[in-house]
Chains A and B, each alone.
Chain A
Amino acid sequence: MERIKINARQLFVLIVLFEHGSAIVIPLGVSAKQDVWIAILLGLALGLLLFFVYRQLFEYYPDQPLTAYLPQIVGAPLGKLLAVVYITYFLYIAARVLRDFGELLLTFAYPETPLFVLNAIMALTIMYGVYKGFEVLARTGELFLTVLYFLALAGFILVFVSGLVDVTQLQPVLEEDWRRVWKTVLTETLYVPFGEMIVFTMLFPYINNPVKVGRVGVAGMVLSGVNLAIIMAINMAVLGPDAASRSSFPLLDTIRRVQVAHFLERLDVLFMIALIIGGFFKISVFFYAGVVGAANLFGISSYQRLVYPLGLLVLLLSVAIASNYAEHIHEGLKIVTFYLHIPLQVIIPVLLLIIAAIRRRFNQPAK
């Protein structure tokens, strides 16, 4: 493990950037149509419950990442196997987000560039960042969050000033009862981006003030969740449920519609910057978690030795996992959710917590 510490503010910044990550650009929860904001807020509420599970585990095993305390909870063979599964999961999700990133850029800005080239440039940057260490990432995050917020504010004002927001498009609220909303929550918004906080169980040990982990995590998630709900609600109000759910990138469509005073228009670049900043941090966090997890599990003293081989793996994986965008999205929504997100974000952590709690109860009197 790296002997570095980050402070609570840096953790907060990383959580916010991570949660926004790709979620602001993809059509997050649009299957709930005009109730998307409700779906996101409900996802946030359930996501907070999951976060308490992750935090409780950290409280039981402070100073250790998930992959280190897994064997302590369920025993060495099974624990190590699970640790390998989690490391693979983190790296796979890193590859998925990298693919998202490449596909997005390719679709709207670089139609003639090969996917591999775009992904490689991003992957190299991420590898370099991770090689330099977690603290560097955290401090870069502080810088970029300011940029992102400034852009978000500018975009927000422009969208409103151009008179695009038509709140009636958010009506009727709860047209098809709660069923459609809950379905979206339980199949989409809970896991991406809120359940993905599982990756921070690998990073909590770096906080110099562990007491604050809970508070900072909740604050970061709530801020991100509310932001995402607002952004998606604006997308709906600008585009209407029909266009928003047909769009590959609703936020891009919203920004493209901005026309203020005949010269503040074609602001696609705002979207692009948000995409690159968010993508960078989301992939970096997943990748870092995967790399330190692997180093820790296999007893490699310096995690940096794994950065380049694993980075290459992620890069190749990002190109190889799907042959087209439709397949990629299908895998993401159907397969990954049910076979990876639900077991690894919900079932296993909850089971771990139960086992850990029982163990502590039986161990305590003996002490």
Chain B
Amino acid sequence: MKRLLGMFLPFAACVCLLSGCWSKKELTDLAFVIAVGLDKTEDGKYLASFQVVNPGNVAGATQRGGGAAGVPVSIYTSTGDSLVEASRKASEKVSRLLYYAHTNLVVVGEELAREGLDGVFDAMERSQQFRTTARLVIARGHSAKDTLSVLTPIDKISANQIIRTLEFSEMAWGQTINVDVWWAIRGIASPGRNPVITGVSIEGGLKKGKRQENVQSSVPDARVTLNGLALFKNGRLIGWADGPTARGMMWVLDRIHQTNLTIPWEGKQEAIGYRATRAKTNVEARVNNGRPSISVHIKAEGDISEARVPINLADAGVVFRLEQELERNVKQEITKAIETAQREKTDIFGFGDAVHRAAPRLWKKIEKEWHDRYFPELDVTVTADLYIRRTGLRNKPYIEE
């Protein structure tokens, strides 16, 4: 009897301790939230939208010839005074537990962003389920909820579509920035840097965009598209930067990987295209007589991608002159970007951090007034070295003089 008990007890203990299913949840009990959208309602509450994956309509749908059965994602919305409250309250509508470990995208509505992001991200950073590596975008001109409800072709889950667009657009074009929640928190918390976040807007009719037919056409009625950079100050959205200005900011932030520049040549506008394939930016702060100044140095190399005027690219002298023209162009772009930020009085480049590193004592004194007083009057010297390494498969264009 005693031996039997002695055998039984360890077994019982093993069963209880080793199975490890104290708070187990089956896969079918979970709703995978792939994207979270945040807006403000009229009475000042949070309106949270959750894009939940509809597993049956994603997996294998392409092989079976179009997932006509249903939409790949479903949007649930819920309101609350705080983010977590809204999330918990959503359980009234979702038949499964919302699960955030795979949330890869956070969309913040423009209105909420203009009111301020302070405190919005705390729940995301504190939670052990949520990850701060989730990408972050601002819904420009629309609510976050609308942005998330547009159905997309190619990448069936629209959150993935946005994430991948962010990633590849930064890599190939460089007018939008691929940042995560972490970056925003860091920017808000740091006294010497403010965040910039990419804007996402909707092209076309929103009504049709929500329906499955949207992706059954080669030209969808509605598309989500990246659109400019949102400039923040004190955690509030204060303005947008687009086109070359946005790219100028990206140069300074050392976020340009590849891009294409078009420069004039001998009086003709938009004549020569240059594809940068490698770029590096150095930002350095100096202090003279108690006044900080910044020097930005760009170094890039690349190839000629287009030549629409007669030009002899086999001539090293011509290439050298082209390089100088390019440098002038890039410098202009960057100067414009810096001026824009200075006009908005928000140091989105982290120049303050550079000053902090270079002159900690001085920084202590000017930290409080950095964005409003010192940054707008900051001396910034921009220098650029652009190299044309190759000219592609042709040395002369087919147009003759």
B236 within 8 A of A: no
- The answer to whether residues A121 and B17 also contact, given A242-B186, A256-B133, A259-B133 and a CB cut-off of 8 A, is yes
Closest to B22 in A: A113
Residues of A within 8 A of B353 (CB): 168
A172 within 8 A of B: yes
A354 nearest CB across to chain B (Å): 42
CB atoms of B186 and A112 under 8 A apart: no
Residues of B within 8 A of A259 (CB): 133
CB atoms of B17 and A243 under 8 A apart: no
CB atoms of A171 and B357 under 8 A apart: yes
Task: Scan residues 1-39 of chain B and give those whose CB is less than 8 A from a CB of chain A.
Answer: 17, 22-23
A338 within 8 A of B: no
Classify chain B: how many residues form its interface, as a range: 10 to 19
B8 nearest CB across to chain A (Å): 17
CB atoms of A111 and B22 under 8 A apart: no
- The answer for the CA separation of A257 and B360 in the assembled complex, in Å, is 28
A109 within 8 A of B: yes
Chain B contact residues, majority secondary structure? helix
The proximity string for A residues 193-204 relative to B, scoring 1 for CB distances below 8 Å and 0 otherwise, is: 000000000000
Residues of A within 8 A of B356 (CB): 172
Closest to B359 in A: A172
B194 nearest CB across to chain A (Å): 14
The proximity string for B residues 114-143 relative to A, scoring 1 for CB distances below 8 Å and 0 otherwise, is: 000000000000001001110000000000
Closest to B353 in A: A168
CB atoms of A242 and B133 under 8 A apart: no
A107 within 8 A of B: yes
CB atoms of A257 and B23 under 8 A apart: no
The proximity string for A residues 252-272 relative to B, scoring 1 for CB distances below 8 Å and 0 otherwise, is: 000011010000011000000
A110 within 8 A of B: yes
B150 nearest CB across to chain A (Å): 24
B190 within 8 A of A: yes
- The answer to whether residues A242 and B357 also contact, given A109-B128, A259-B133 and a CB cut-off of 8 A, is no
- The answer for the CA separation of A243 and B121 in the assembled complex, in Å, is 13
- The answer to whether residues A243 and B185 also contact, given A111-B128, A172-B356 and a CB cut-off of 8 A, is yes
The proximity string for A residues 169-213 relative to B, scoring 1 for CB distances below 8 Å and 0 otherwise, is: 001100110000000000000000000000000000000000000
B265 within 8 A of A: no
- The answer for the CA separation of A168 and B284 in the assembled complex, in Å, is 11
CB atoms of A107 and B128 under 8 A apart: yes
- The answer for the CA separation of A259 and B182 in the assembled complex, in Å, is 13
Residues of A within 8 A of B357 (CB): 168, 171-172
Closest to B182 in A: A257
- The answer for the CA separation of A23 and B123 in the assembled complex, in Å, is 27
Residues of B within 8 A of A113 (CB): 22-23
- The answer to whether residues A110 and B23 also contact, given A175-B360, A243-B186 and a CB cut-off of 8 A, is yes
A133 nearest CB across to chain B (Å): 20
B380 nearest CB across to chain A (Å): 18
CB atoms of B23 and A108 under 8 A apart: no
Closest to B102 in A: A266
Residues of A within 8 A of B131 (CB): 256, 266
Classify chain A: how many residues form its interface, as a range: 20 to 34
Task: Scan residues 53-67 of chain B and give those whose CB is less than 8 A from a CB of chain A.
Answer: none
Closest to A118 in B: B22
A241 nearest CB across to chain B (Å): 10
A295 nearest CB across to chain B (Å): 26
CB atoms of B128 and A257 under 8 A apart: no
Residues of B within 8 A of A256 (CB): 131-133
CB atoms of B22 and A112 under 8 A apart: yes
A240 within 8 A of B: yes
CB atoms of B360 and A108 under 8 A apart: no
- The answer for the CA separation of A365 and B128 in the assembled complex, in Å, is 66
- The answer for the CA separation of A110 and B358 in the assembled complex, in Å, is 44
CB atoms of B133 and A110 under 8 A apart: no
The proximity string for B residues 355-368 relative to A, scoring 1 for CB distances below 8 Å and 0 otherwise, is: 01110100000000
A362 nearest CB across to chain B (Å): 55
- The answer for the CA separation of A242 and B183 in the assembled complex, in Å, is 12
Closest to B13 in A: A124
B189 within 8 A of A: yes
- The answer for the CA separation of A117 and B356 in the assembled complex, in Å, is 47
CB atoms of A112 and B23 under 8 A apart: yes
The proximity string for B residues 77-105 relative to A, scoring 1 for CB distances below 8 Å and 0 otherwise, is: 00000000000000000000000010000
Residues of A within 8 A of B189 (CB): 242-243
A119 nearest CB across to chain B (Å): 13
Residues of A within 8 A of B358 (CB): 172
The proximity string for B residues 165-195 relative to A, scoring 1 for CB distances below 8 Å and 0 otherwise, is: 0000000000000000010011001100000
CB atoms of A108 and B185 under 8 A apart: no
Task: Scan residues 157-177 of chain A and give those whose CB is less than 8 A from a CB of chain B.
Answer: 168, 171-172, 175-176
- The answer for the CA separation of A321 and B190 in the assembled complex, in Å, is 37
Residues of A within 8 A of B23 (CB): 110-113
Task: Scan residues 4-27 of chain A and give those whose CB is less than 8 A from a CB of chain B.
Answer: none
CB atoms of B186 and A240 under 8 A apart: yes
Closest to A168 in B: B357
B252 nearest CB across to chain A (Å): 15
- The answer for the CA separation of A108 and B126 in the assembled complex, in Å, is 10
Task: Scan residues 93-113 of chain A and give those whose CB is less than 8 A from a CB of chain B.
Answer: 107-113
- The answer to whether residues A110 and B186 also contact, given A172-B360, A256-B131, A256-B133 and a CB cut-off of 8 A, is no
Residues of B within 8 A of A109 (CB): 128
CB atoms of B22 and A110 under 8 A apart: yes
The proximity string for B residues 326-338 relative to A, scoring 1 for CB distances below 8 Å and 0 otherwise, is: 0000000000000
Closest to A174 in B: B360
Residues of B within 8 A of A243 (CB): 182, 185-186, 189
Residues of B within 8 A of A172 (CB): 356-358, 360
A156 nearest CB across to chain B (Å): 19
A275 nearest CB across to chain B (Å): 14
B24 nearest CB across to chain A (Å): 10
Chain B residues proximal to chain A, CB less than 8 Å: 17, 22-23, 101, 128, 131-133, 182, 185-186, 189-190, 353, 356-358, 360
9 contacts between A and B (CB under 8 A): A113-B22, A113-B23, A117-B22, A172-B358, A242-B189, A243-B182, A256-B133, A257-B132, A257-B182
With A172-B357, A242-B189, A242-B190 already in contact, 5 other A-B pairs whose C-beta atoms are closer than 8 Å: A107-B128, A168-B357, A172-B358, A240-B186, A257-B133
Chain A residues proximal to chain B, CB less than 8 Å: 107-113, 117, 121, 168, 171-172, 175-176, 240, 242-243, 256-257, 259, 265-266
